[in-house]
């Protein structure tokens, strides 16, 4: 693991803090009139998602975790695990559903995802900005009910429920934003 200075802290880097992995969400270098400079940070636990705040002296050294990102393709679900295939080695990698969290709502067979690893332990997943999903069931739009911006609930093939416009029907393919979980457009 590489030791870095607090002046090298940037958003998105991962640090080893108190035997845990934390990614930097925010940081602020502070130079008060009296006393030494320091760095205020907001850190997210890579395993649990909990957010903590820490302050470090300007001369302090921190351990930067080496993070590996692997391009994978989702293959199938096996019990409580999701099975991915590494695109470079073609190895199949099972991932527990609790490691995926909300990302499981956007996974369809043959879909692409980046697995984030630290020392061969999967600590997270990155999805594309949007995915195309098929609507499994929704109520039909009622003729004449065309209020501007009106929405209805639709259940997608993964089980995710989103709000869609009235004109969208069952069996249609829509684009969903993976960051917010909202309908974007028809595909």
Per-domain residue ranges of the chain? 2-64, 68-126, 131-186
Given this model, what pLDDT does residue 6 score?
83
Instruction: Note the pLDDT of residue 162.
Output: 92
Quickly tell me which residue has 């692997």 as its tokens: 70
Average pLDDT (30-57) is: 87
User: What CA–CA distance (Å, rounded) separates 45 from 31?
Assistant: 27
Task: Give every CB contact of residue 153 below 8 A, 6+ residues apart in sequence.
Answer: 138, 139, 161, 162, 163, 164
Give the pLDDT of residue 74.
Answer: 92
Topology annotation, domain 131-186? OB fold (Dihydrolipoamide Acetyltransferase, E2P) (2.40.50)
pLDDT at 146: 62
Give whole-number Cα distances, 114 to 39, 74, 92, 178, 182, in Å.
31, 10, 14, 13, 21
Predicted confidence (pLDDT) per residue in 60-75, tens digit: 899 888 888 999 999 9
Fold of the CATH domain 2-64: SH3 type barrels. (2.30.30)
Handedness of CA 98, 102, 103, 108 (dihedral sign): positive
Q: What is the pLDDT of residues 65-122, one digit of tens each?
A: 888 899 999 999 888 899 999 999 999 999 888 888 888 889 888 889 999 888 888 8
pTM of the model: 0.73
Residue 67: the pLDDT is 87
Architecture of 68-126 per CATH? Beta Barrel (2.40)
Task: Give 110-148 as a DSSP string.
Answer: T-EEEEEEETTEEEEEE--SEEEEEEEEEPPPPTT---T
Q: Do domains 68-126 and 131-186 have the same CATH topology?
A: yes
In this prediction, residue 145 carries a pLDDT of 59
Assign 150 to helix, strand or coil: coil
């Amino acid at each position: 693991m590489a030791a870095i200075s607090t002046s090298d802290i940037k958003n998105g880097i991962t640090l080893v803090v108190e035997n845990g992995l934390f990614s930097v969400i925010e940081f602020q270098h502070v130079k008060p009139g009296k006393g030494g400079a320091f760095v205020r940070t907001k850190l997210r636990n890579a395993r649990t998602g909990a957010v903590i705040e820490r302050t470090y002296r300007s001369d302090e050294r921190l351990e930067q975790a080496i993070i590996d990102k692997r391009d994978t393709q989702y293959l199938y679900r096996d019990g409580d695990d999701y099975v991915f295939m590494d695109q470079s080695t073609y190895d199949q990698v099972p991932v527990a559903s609790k490691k995926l969290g909300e990302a499981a709502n956007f996974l369809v067979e043959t879909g692409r995802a980046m697995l984030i690893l630290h020392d061969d332990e999967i600590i997270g997943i990155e999805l594309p900005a949007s995915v195309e999903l098929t609507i499994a069931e929704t109520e039909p739009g009622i003729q004449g009910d065309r209020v501007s911006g009106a929405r209805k609930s639709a259940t997608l093939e993964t089980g995710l429920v989103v709000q869609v416009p009235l004109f969208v029907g069952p069996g249609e393919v829509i684009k969903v934003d993976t960051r917010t979980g909202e309908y974007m457009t028809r595909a």
